[in-house]
Amino acid sequence: MADKINKRFGFRNKSDAKLHKDDITVVDTNVARKAVIATALGNAMEWFDFGIYSYLAVTIGKVFFPALSGPTQLVYTFATFAVAFLVRPLGGLFFGMLGDRLGRKKILSITLIIMALSTLSIGLIPSYASIGVMAPILLLIARMVQGFSTGGEYSGAMTFIAESTPDKKRGFMSSGLEVGTLVGFIAGSGLVTLLTFMLGPETMLAWGWRIPFFIAAPLGLIGLYLRNQLEETPAFKAMEQQEERNRKQQGSVKNILVYHWPQLLKGMIIVFFYNVVDYMVLSYMPSHLNAVLGYGETKGLLLILIVMLIMIPIVLTIGYFSDHIGKKPLIIGGLIGLILLSIPSFTMIGSGSNLQVFFGLMILASLLAAFLGTMPSLLPSLFFTEVRYGALAITYNISASLFGGTTPLIMAWMIKVTENRMVPAYYLMATCLIGVVAMTFVKETAGRALRGSAPAVEEKHEIADILEEPKEALWWKEEQAKIYEETDDQKKEQ
């Protein structure tokens, strides 16, 4: 089995516990930084769209669903937002499989183009007053195309960064992906806030809401240029050296489901609590402040905008510490914090006092940062290089579709039904309780090589230290051998 695993992953030595110095990747830090920036820009664009849609939810509801009003109108608006997540698993499966066969770089360029064009198209759709029911139908189609492309975007971005960074700095550098999330969301929400202030509600309703969507096209072109300047990831290059037949077998859906289902299950639960908190704070909260609590549009948007700006250094700090003390303690700490502080936070948010609203939002945002700073490096580490893009795309998009993108819709519906403004707090607490249990089954991988890959270092002098402790460097080999042995034994018994 040791020989089979070595052949599968392309290592030169046949011993299960030895490495050759040429197997170890020395990562150029400047190249890694470029990878982070180019990849984060695509993620920024995805969340630029989310920011626009979330902050324009009330306006979009009036444009495309004028026959409805109040909470009902908001439910329909977020239903259109959520429907895009129904096709995300299909997009993730399609682009994920291609990413494991053709390369991460090519697929990330394609998803970025589709995402930019679909976002631009929303700004071109006539209103309900102009073309009637065709308006919401076209909006629905545009959102579904967005969902299909984003299905391959975020999982590919996480994979690309994780495979392009040194092991000991993976947490910090990968957290840059979520800085892209915040920057994109800040840009989208900030633009909507500025336009609302400058143009006023009536002009925004008439045509001003279209402007943010038009900006998507030039942003997409910039991102495409930067991504085309990147090289393929070292981990994928190493995998490409294997036999074509063997590599195609590894990158199949059947292979992922048969050999890697335990990691798929863990990943889905992790993505579940991560996305619920993420979409609750960043996507749902603007509309909660406006439509549920009755705060003025500009005031509510500005408060959350300030909170997101403060989050950026917090996320980077979390990413830095995740490389030194591990990801699990930070994630579990964030989960416990949300269980204890969700009710106090939403109590402050509903108080009507600007200062208390700000501190309530800041508590939730700081605890969310514990996930934003760790997840981009944790999730790719769950899977082996041979299936990482595809497995992560399946894991992330199925869970995000069921629980993440639907969070604003569920909250709007539950508040309408129960007439209880504290429902979001209870939902967060229940979600995080499940998360604490799930995290006890996740192995800590901070500072270690990715599953299925030889170690990646920043400096050549680190190679000697790794060669002295090869078992630690290839910690995953025993795990992978066990997976294949147990599954093959089960097949023989059948």
Biggest CA-to-CA distance, the chain: 72
Which residue, among 146, 109, 210, 208, has the nearest Cα to 401 in the 3D structure?
146
Over 50: is that where the pLDDT of 12 sits?
no
Confidence (pLDDT) at 2: 42
Mean pLDDT within 74-91: 76
3-state secondary structure the chain: CHHHHHHHHCCCCCCCCCCCHHHCEECCHHHHHHHHHHHHHHHHHHHHHHHHHHHCHHHHHHHHCCCCCHHHHHHHHHHHHHHHHHCHHHHHHHHHHHHHHHCHHHHHHHHHHHHHHHHHHHCCCCCHHHHCCHHHHHHHHHHHHHHHHHHHHHHHHHHHHHHHCCHHHHHHHHHHHHHHHHHHHHHHHHHHHHHHHHHHHHHHHHCHHHHHHHCHHHHHHHHHHHHHCCCCCHHHHHHHCCCHHHHHHHCCHHHHHHHCHHHHHHHHHHHHHHHHHHHHHHHHHHHHHHHHCCCCHHHHHHHHHHHHHHHHHHHHHHHHHHHHHCHHHHHHHHHHHHHHHHHHHHHHHCCCCHHHHHHHHHHHHHHHHHHHCCHHHHCHHHCCHHHHHHHHHHHHHHHHHHHHCCHHHHHHHHHHHHCCCCHHHHHHHHHHHHHHHHHCCCCCCCCCCCCCCCCEECCCCHHHHHHHCHHHHCCHHHHHHHHHHHHHHHHHHC
Closest CA relative to residue 44, chosen from 150, 144, 138: 150
Instruction: Return the exposure string of 13-40: e unless at least 16 CB atoms fall within 10 Å of the residue's CB, then b.
Output: eeebebbeeebbbebeeeebebbbbbbb
Question: Using 50, 70 and 90 to split pLDDT, how confident is the model at 3?
Answer: very low
Q: Amino acid identity of 332?
A: I
Give the pLDDT score at 483.
65
Judge contact between 434 and 265, C-beta under 8 A.
Answer: no
State which of 80-89, 106-115, 243-252, 274-283 shows the largest mean pLDDT. 274-283
Give the chain's mean pLDDT.
Answer: 81
Beta bridge partners of 26: 457
Which of 61-65, 248-252, 256-260, 363-367 bottoms out in mean pLDDT, i.e. has the lowest?
A: 248-252
Would you state the pLDDT for residue 13?
45
CA–CA separation, 258 and 483 (whole Å): 10
Tokens linked to 271: 């993505």
Chain position carrying tokens 């859906």: 253
| Distance from chain centroid for Cα 246 | 30
Per CATH, the architecture of 25-232+245-453 is what?
Up-down Bundle (1.20)
Query: Is the separation of the CB atoms in 406 and 427 below 8 Å?
Result: no
pLDDT-derived band at 437, boundaries 50, 70, 90: very high
pLDDT at residue 65, as a whole number: 79
Q: How far apart are CA 42 and CA 48, in angstroms?
A: 10
Compute the distance between CA of residue 54 and CA of residue 290 in angstroms, rounded to an integer.
Answer: 11
pLDDT number for residue 143: 86
The 8 Å CB, 24+ separation contacts for 333-337 are 333/370, 334/367, 334/368, 334/369, 334/370, 334/371, 335/273, 335/432, 335/433, 335/435, 335/436, 335/439, 336/432, 336/436, 337/367, 337/370
The per-residue pLDDT for range 289-343, each reduced to its tens digit, is 877 777 766 677 788 888 989 999 999 999 999 999 999 999 999 999 999 999 9
Q: pLDDT band for position 345 (50/70/90)?
A: very high
Residues 6+ away with beta carbon under 8 Å from 76: 61, 65, 68
Backbone angles phi, psi at 329, to 5 degrees: -60, -40
Output the CA torsion sign for 370, 374, 375, 376. Answer: positive
Binned at pLDDT 50, 70 and 90, residue 248 comes out as very low
- Whether residue 99 contacts residue 162, with contact meaning beta carbons closer than 8 Å, is answered with no
Q: Domain segments of the chain: what residues?
A: 25-232+245-453
Residue range 433-438: mean pLDDT, rounded? 95
Instruction: Report residue 242's pLDDT band, with 50, 70 and 90 as the boundaries.
Output: low
- Using one digit for the tens of pLDDT, what is the confidence trace for 114-154? 888 888 888 899 988 888 888 888 888 888 888 888 888 88
What pLDDT, on the 0 to 100 scale, is given for residue 373? 94
From CA 60, how far away is CA 392, in angstroms rounded?
32
For the stretch 214-236, pLDDT in tens is: 887 787 778 777 777 777 676 67
357: its two tokens: 């609203």
Whole-structure pTM value: 0.81
Backbone angles phi, psi at 456, to 5 degrees: -120, 125
